[in-house]
Chain A
Amino acid sequence: MLGSEALVTTLLQVHELRKYFPVKKDFFGRGTAKVHAVDGVSFSIAAGETLGLVGESGCGKSTAGKTILRLIDPTSGTIEWCGRRIEALGRAAMHPVRRELQVVFQDPYSSLNPRLRARDIVAEPLRNYESLSEAQMREHVAFLFEKVGLRADQMVRYPHEFSGGQRQRLGIARALAVRPKLIICDEPVSALDVSVQAQVINLLVDLQAEFGVSYLFVAHDLAVVEHISHRVAVMYLGKIVELTDKRSLFRNPQHPYTEALLSAVPVPDPKAKRKRIILQGDVPSPVTPPPGCRFHTRCPYAEARCRAEEPAMKEVRPGHSVACHLR
C-alpha cells in the first residue's frame, strides 16, 4: 500500500522519547523512584499511514501517545512534527500544531463533557481555529455528523443520549473537525462491544481513504491492529521491541514477545490446533525494570547475554527492526 509511492513525506518522527513519572518523594520533595513509562521509543509516521502501537496494559503505549500530543511533557527525547521539533514548545507555540495533530480517546464516556450538546462538543476545535458564522458552523458540524454516520438531527442531544459506539463517533467527528494530518487513536475501540468495534474501525479506515489522515493507533488487541495498520510497533515495558510492516509481523514475527502475543490471538476455529506460548511470571515493575533485555525474565530463549546487555533495535530485513540478541 505504502512505500511504493516515490515521495513519502514523514509527518511525525519520534526519537528516543522518554517519560518517567516520579512515584516516591523524599523529605525534601525530590523524586527518589520513577516509573519508566516510556523509555527510549523511536518511530516515524508517514502521511496517510497507520502505525499500530501494541503492547499489554501498562507498557507505556498510551503515555507515548499523550506525550506526542504534549498533554504530558516528555522527560527527554525529540518529537519532530513536519520537520519541526515540538517537544519543548510552549502553549502558544503549540497551538497551531494541535490543529494538525488531533486525538480520539479510549473512554467514549468520560472524554465527552456531559454538560455540552453534541454539536458543541464537535464544534469545539472549530471555534478555536476558525472564525465561522453560526450558520456555517452548523453546516460544517452537520457535514461531520454525516461523515461519521450520525444524523444531523442528533446534534442537539447530550452525550448521555448516545450509545457507546455513537459517542466514539462523536469523538472521531471532534478530532476530524479541523482536518488534522494525524489523529492519535488511544485505544479507541477497547471500551466498545466487538460488533461496534468493527463499525468504528471501518469508519476510521473509510475516513482515512477520504481525507488522507494518518493514524497512530494504540491498542492491545492484535486482531484490531491487523485490520487497520500498515505498520505495527510492539511495545514491552516502555520500549519498542519490534517494528515492521503488518504482513511480516503477523507472518514472520522475530521477537519472542511478539511470537507469544500472536499465539494468544483467538482463532475462530474450534478444531484449529496451535502451539500456544504461555509466558511465565508477570511483567516486571516499570519502577525497577530488569537490566539487560527487559523481556529476559519471561523469555523462553533467554541467555546469559540477555541478562547483562540491553539489545539495540537492528534491522533484520529492510523495514523490519527487532531488539533481540538472538536475531
Chain B
Amino acid sequence: MASAPAVTAAPRSVSPTWLRFKDALRRHPTAIAGAVVLLAMIALAVAAPWLGTVDPQAVSPVKRLKPPFGEYWFGTDMLGRDVYSRVVYGARVSLTVGLAVALASTLAGLAIGLVTGFIRWADALVMRVMDGLMSIPPVLLAIALMALTKASLENVVFAITLSEIPRVVRLVRSLVLSLREQPFVEAAMAAGTSIARTLVRHILPNTVAPLLVQGTYICASAMITESILSFLGAGTPPNIPSWGNIMAEARSLFQIAAYLILFPGVCLSLTVLAVNLLGDGLRDALDPRLARRM
C-alpha cells in the first residue's frame, strides 16, 4: 500500500524543472559567475545614461586620441569621442541583438520544429529548406540579407535570426521525434488526447530545458555575428555605437591606439564568455544523463 515515509519527505510539491534548476545553480559556480557577469552587463546597458557617460556621438576633434586612464577612462577616438560612453552604449546593441535573436529564433524554430516533428509530409519539405539554409555559412547569409535591405538594428536582428533558425529546428525536430516515441505520449494517444493538445501538454514542456541551453549559445553567437557584421560595415549603422563598429573604425589606428580595440573587444569576449558559461551550467544541470539525482 502507499508508503508512509514518502509523505513526510516532501510536504510541498514543487515542479521538477524548478528543483533541478535550483540544484543546478548550487552545483555550478561557473554558471553563477556567468549569470552575474551577464546581469551586470544588462544593468550597464540599461543604466547607460546615468553611469557618467556623455553623448557617445559628441565629436571633439581637439581632444582626439587621448590615452585611457586620464581625463577619459577609456580614452578618446580619432574624432575625439569618449570611448567609455561608446562602449557602455554599445552594450545596448550587443545585448539587444543577442537576446532578441535568441528569443526570436528559438520561438520560430520551436514552432517549425514541432510541426516537422509531428507531420510527416511537412517534415520532408521543411527540412530540405532548412538543410539548404544550413549549407550557407551563417555570417555569409546574414551579409547577403543585409545587402538586400538597409542597415538598421531590426534588419540585423532579422538577418541573424534567419540564419540561426535552422539549428533550432533541427534540435526541436530531433527532440519531438524522440519524445513522440515515449510511452507517456503513446499513453496520451490511448487516452484520446488530440494531436494539438498532446503537443502543448506533453511534448512542449519537455523541450524547454534543451531549448534554454540552445538559446544561450545562440545569444552568444548572435552577439559575435553582430560584431562581425558591424566590423565588415554590413551591420548596425555607423550612427549607433556598437562594439563591432567601434572596433571597425579603430582598426586602421590599431598600431597607435590599440586601446580603441581593446575595450570593446574585452567587453564582447567577457559577455560571450558569461553567456556560454551560463549555457554550459544549464546544460550540465538539465541534461538528465549528466545529472539526475531524483
Residues of A whose CB lies within 8 Å of any CB of B are 66, 69, 71, 91, 95, 98-99, 102-103, 105-107, 110-117, 124-125, 128-129, 149-151, 153-154, 156-158, 160-163, 166, 171, 174, 199
Contact = CB atoms under 8 A, between A and B. Distances in A.
**Chain B interface size range:** 20 to 34
A115 B1 contact: no
A103 to B, nearest CB: 5
B137 interface: no
Interface in B179-197: 182-184, 186-195
Given A71-B189, A103-B190, A124-B193, 12 more contacts: A98-B190, A111-B186, A113-B184, A113-B202, A117-B13, A124-B188, A128-B192, A149-B1, A154-B2, A160-B294, A163-B3, A166-B3
Contacts of B150: none
Interface of B: 1-3, 6-7, 9-10, 13, 15-17, 182-184, 186-195, 201-202, 205-206, 294
Contacts of B15: 115, 158
A151 B1 CA distance: 10
14 contacts: A66-B186, A71-B190, A95-B192, A103-B187, A105-B183, A105-B186, A113-B201, A115-B16, A150-B2, A158-B15, A160-B294, A161-B6, A166-B2, A199-B1
Contacts of A171: 187
A114 B190 CA distance: 18
Nearest to A158: B16
B190 A102 contact: yes
Contacts of B294: 160
Q: Please name the 4 residue pairs, one residue from A and one from B, whose CB atoms are nearest each other, closest first.
A: A111-B183, A125-B191, A128-B192, A98-B192
A204 to B, nearest CB: 15
Nearest to A149: B1
B191 A124 contact: yes
A295 B3 CA distance: 45
Given A161-B10, A163-B3, A114 B192 contact: no
Contacts of A116: 201-202
Nearest to B182: A110
B6 A128 contact: no
Contacts of A149: 1-2
B208 to A, nearest CB: 9
Residue among A69, A98, A113, A161 with most chain B CB within 10 A: A113
A110 B184 contact: yes
Contact of B206 (A91, A103, A111, A115): A115
A173 to B, nearest CB: 12
Contacts of A166: 2-3, 6
